């Protein structure tokens, strides 16, 4: 399983540079989902090795990305109403 995860992380690292930050038009949710997934995969082992303040800082980064994702979803739902 670790070998598969390592391969996914390698692919995600290569893809990371293909996504630009900021707003986009169509396909925002799939794009942001991909960005969040890549971020979580590439940082998973890094976060697992951290402790104390470093861990807290990295988890704050994860929380901000998840919050941005949630905001976009709620925004899209509100637009459909």
Instruction: Enumerate the domain spans of the chain.
Output: 2-80
Position 1 scores a pLDDT of 57
Quick one: tokens of 31? 């794009």
**Residues above pLDDT 70, as percent of the chain:** 78
Mean pLDDT of the chain: 79
The three-class DSSP label of residue 78 is helix
For residue 49, give the DSSP letter: T
User: DSSP state, 22?
Assistant: S
Q: Kindly provide the b/e burial profile for residues 6-37, where b requires at least 16 CB atoms within 10 angstroms of the residue's own CB.
A: eeebeebeeeeeeeeeeeeeeeeeeebeebee
Confidence (pLDDT) at 19? 54
């Amino acid at each position: 399983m670790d070998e598969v995860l390592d391969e996914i992380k390698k692919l995600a690292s290569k893809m990371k540079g293909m996504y630009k930050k900021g707003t986009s038009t169509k396909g925002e949710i799939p794009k942001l989902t991909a960005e969040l997934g890549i971020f979580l995969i590439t940082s998973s082992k890094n976060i697992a090795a951290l402790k104390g303040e470093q861990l807290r800082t990295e988890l704050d980064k994860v929380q901000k990305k998840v919050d941005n994702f949630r905001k976009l979803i709620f925004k899209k739902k509100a637009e459909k109403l």
